[in-house]
Amino acid sequence: MPTAVQEVPYVMVREGKNYTGNSRFYGFCVDLLHRTAQHVGFDYILDLASDRKYGAQDPISGEWNGMVLQLMKHVGTCRNSLYEI
């Protein structure tokens, strides 16, 4: 499941109606992911990182947060915004 952090204009969340699934998101990286999936032939479910962070290591505990933690726990499988993992 690709994970993302909401960041204008790359990944944004639609408001107003009750959107579900991938239709909840729009933006440059969302469009790029959609077109790549169509061209290469794969399905995906896009979701935001649960804590809305890219990921940083706590200097005291050594624990990671954000998308990095999700990747380490195999919850998220790629990054779709300013960089790719």
Residues 34-63 pLDDT 10s: 999 999 998 888 888 888 888 899 999 999
Q: Among 6-10, 50-54, 80-84, which range has the highest average pLDDT?
A: 6-10
CATH superfamily, domain 2-79, is Periplasmic binding protein-like II (3.40.190.10)
pLDDT of residue 84: 43
Could you give the C-alpha distances from 19 to 24, 55, 78, in angstroms and in order?
Answer: 5, 27, 23
Tokens of 9: 């204009």
Pairing of strands 25-26, 47-48: unpaired
Gap between the Cα atoms of 85 and 29, Å rounded: 14
Gap between the Cα atoms of 76 and 85, Å rounded: 10
